[in-house]
Copies of this chain bind each other. A is one copy, B any other.
């Protein structure tokens, strides 16, 4: 979580204040959503006056970008740790849901409503690739080989996003299925659509995961 780079005392202090700002920002986002994130309110919480924060972040947009970056990294770490702990695809799915439920707005920061003009910085797409790579690892272990599906052929042609991952096309297809389907149920759960219908989100998620595992490709 923390950067072990306390070169000068100044950088040390700076990193600490930046972290504290982000901490308060996460709190605001979790309770009222991204639109309600206010630099002024964060400053007030820290007992400091508004413009002080501009020493640490160029503006509101840069702070949000940083939070998005951290969200990506947090998910990548969660996946990596789960896989290192011996989790299979189902374990990864469980880790994903737990991570999302811990802070729904953090999930939506990555996979939620996009801002039309916004373009994510380069490194977030790199971290995103790491996430997919972890998922590919698990899928390749689950599906060592399989028939190439029609979509698998397309994925084979455009496997740049796999970044040289040596997974067969069946694993590519399955990883994509996991991603899109789990996102489907999970995002609807986090948005409260199932609760509004009197359904149990955990059951829907489990059923979708089970379908993915038992009826793979």
Q: Which residues of A contact B (CB under 8 A)?
A: 30-35, 105, 108, 111-117, 120, 125, 128, 149-151, 154-155, 158, 160-161, 176-177, 179-185, 187-188, 190-193, 196-200, 203-204, 207-208, 215
**Neighbour of A111 across the interface among B35, B188, B198, B199, CB < 8 A:** B188
The reply to whether A116 and B33 form a contact with Cβ atoms under 8 Å apart is: yes
The reply to whether B191 and A113 form a contact with Cβ atoms under 8 Å apart is: yes
**Neighbour of A208 across the interface among B32, B180, B204, B215, CB < 8 A:** B180
The reply to whether A176 and B204 form a contact with Cβ atoms under 8 Å apart is: yes
A28, chain B: closest CB distance, angstroms = 10
> With A32-B115, A177-B208, A183-B187 given, can you name 17 additional A-B contacts, CB distance below 8 Å?
A30-B116, A33-B113, A33-B117, A34-B113, A105-B113, A108-B113, A111-B188, A111-B193, A112-B112, A114-B192, A128-B196, A158-B197, A160-B197, A180-B185, A184-B184, A184-B185, A187-B187
The CA of A32 and the CA of B118, in the complex, are separated in Å by 9
Report the nearest B residue to A182, measured CB to CB. B184
Q: Chain B contacts of A120 at CB under 8 A? A: 196
A202, chain B: closest CB distance, angstroms = 10
The CA of A31 and the CA of B116, in the complex, are separated in Å by 6
Q: Chain B contacts of A151 at CB under 8 A? A: 203-204, 207
**Neighbour of A198 across the interface among B158, B176, B180, B185, CB < 8 A:** B158
User: What are some 10 contacts across the A-B interface (CB < 8 A)?
Assistant: A31-B116, A33-B115, A125-B196, A149-B207, A155-B199, A158-B199, A161-B197, A177-B208, A183-B187, A184-B187
The CA of A1 and the CA of B146, in the complex, are separated in Å by 50
The reply to whether A150 and B191 form a contact with Cβ atoms under 8 Å apart is: no
A5, chain B: closest CB distance, angstroms = 30
Q: Chain B contacts of A182 at CB under 8 A? A: 184
The reply to whether B154 and A180 form a contact with Cβ atoms under 8 Å apart is: no
A147, chain B: closest CB distance, angstroms = 14
